[in-house]
Amino acid sequence: MAEFIPSRQVQSLPANYFTSMDRRINSVVKQGIDVIHLHTGSPDQPTPNSIIQAMNKAAQNPENQGYPPAGGKSSLKEAISEFYRREYGVSIDPETEITVFDGATVAIAALPQAMLNPGDVMLTTDPGYPMYFVCPSLAGAEVYGIPVRAEDDFLPNYKTIPEDTLQKARLLMLNYPNNPTGAMATEEFFADTVRFSQEHHIPVVHDFAYGAFGFDGKRPLSFLQTPGAKEQGIEIYTFSKTYNMAGFRIGFAVGNASIIRALSQFHDIDHSDVPSAIQDAAAAALLGSQQSVQELCALYERRRNVLVSSMRAIGWDVRAPKGSFFCWFKVPEGYTSESFADALLERAHVAVAPGAGFGAHGDQFVRAGLLESEDRLREAAERIKASGVLQTLNV
């Protein structure tokens, strides 16, 4: 069979860090070993039945069987506007300040291409979601990860950005509640972000994927709640986490009209629009009862409490996340994130994600998801204790 060479752009893309991790985990599973999967980020709960029913009904509507309108149906945009008014007290123009796309990942990949030129720099946090470090290369742009530390609640200090980097910065990508750290943004931090954006004329993108999940009675803040934020940036929202609609592939962006316009224009050329029946189901999710969302948040908080208390009980001094459905645990002294993840997999049959995959400053941590049952989370701690990895090193 002939071998054809891909473009230089594709050749320049790094290998997916988590593909090799999945291969290691699968090799253990294929041996017939029961692995507890704490490495995954895929929701384990079903889509609420009311949303399924709404999509089934919408699929039978002849009006939904043709091409969907570019940028999203008006009915969904109006539902998004109502959602932001109801949940966050933010006024959004459905016509100019909203665009719809097939999953938040699409927007994350598209934004650097829509907003950056070769040689520009996108700022984000390190550690951070791996896609943030890869996608700017599609535009010939670079990435600078602002180091974030536990002692600063994993919030970046913009004053630490080198001046030569700041001069080339043309986009800032944030994500709170945060993947992988579980950190939450504060009013003060978002206000500082608006000031930073205004001073340097750098647009802000806030990935609000875990916006439904704040713990200990604290609700995650929308960036757009901050005075001046809508003038300086946009927020990306996904139905995958809030409504367990990962398989539906639908998300949206709201905020600054010029960024929305650029994102929508790029999306019109580079992607197809979301099927109309899925858009109707999404509107039903936003406008319907939010009880399932509240119950889901409570479920993740219970799981967090079980996992954190169980790990502390076996002598692993871990920090509880404030939001998201991830825990960010510091590895014991003497390990790297990869050597500790390997030890957990090989000796305890517990899979976690090495922090090195989330940036250079993640290498002393592992990410553990809250997407297994409480019994399985307790069992993970018991296996880790029995394995001895917390007492002896095997590196």
Q: Which H, E and C letters describe 25-46, residue by residue?
A: HHHHHCCCCCCEECCCCCCCCC
Distance of alpha carbon 236 from alpha carbon 230, whole angstroms: 12
φ and ψ at residue 141, rounded to 5 degrees: -100, 170
- Residue 181 is inside which H or E element, if any? none
Tens place of pLDDT for every residue, the chain, 395 residues?
999 999 988 888 887 777 878 888 999 889 999 999 999 888 999 999 999 999 999 999 999 999 999 899 999 999 999 999 999 999 999 999 999 999 999 999 999 999 999 999 999 999 999 999 999 999 999 999 999 999 999 999 999 999 999 999 999 999 999 999 999 999 999 999 999 999 999 999 999 999 999 999 999 999 999 999 999 999 999 999 999 999 999 999 999 999 999 999 999 888 888 999 999 999 999 999 999 999 999 999 999 999 999 999 999 999 999 999 999 999 999 999 999 999 999 999 999 999 999 999 999 999 999 999 999 999 999 999 999 999 854 43
Distance of alpha carbon 88 from alpha carbon 66, whole angstroms: 34
Distance of alpha carbon 237 from alpha carbon 239, whole angstroms: 7
Distance of alpha carbon 147 from alpha carbon 155, whole angstroms: 9
| CATH topology classification for 8-46+292-387 | Aspartate Aminotransferase, domain 1 (3.90.1150)
| Alpha-carbon radius of gyration of the chain | 21
CA atoms within 13 A on the CB side of 49: 0
Q: Which residues contact 225 (CB under 8 A, 6 or more apart)?
A: 88, 89, 90, 190
For residue 229 the two structure tokens come to 């934020």
Distance of alpha carbon 330 from alpha carbon 366, whole angstroms: 7
Per-position DSSP letters for 336-380, written without gaps between them: -HHHHHHHIIIII-EE-EEGGGG-GGGTTEEEEES-S-HHHHHHH
Please give the pLDDT value at position 392: 56
CA angle 70, 224, 358 (to 5 degrees): 85
> Nearest to residue 290, comparing CAs of 211, 395, 357, 209?
211
For residue 286 the two structure tokens come to 């936003």
| DSSP 8-state code for residue 332 | P
Q: Which residues contact 333 (CB under 8 A, 6 or more apart)?
A: none
Residue type, 367: R
User: Helices in the chain by DSSP H: which ranges?
Assistant: 8-12, 17-29, 49-59, 74-88, 104-115, 130-134, 163-168, 187-200, 229-232, 239-242, 257-270, 276-287, 291-313, 337-343, 374-387
Three-class SS of residue 207?
A: strand
Distance of alpha carbon 326 from alpha carbon 359, whole angstroms: 16
Q: What is the CATH number of domain 69-287?
A: 3.40.640.10
Please give the pLDDT value at position 152: 96
Please give the pLDDT value at position 393: 46
Distance of alpha carbon 52 from alpha carbon 237, whole angstroms: 20
The structural domains of the chain, with segments of one domain joined by +, span: 8-46+292-387, 69-287
Q: Cα 79 from chain centroid?
A: 23
For residue 224 the two structure tokens come to 């757009």
pTM metric for this prediction: 0.96
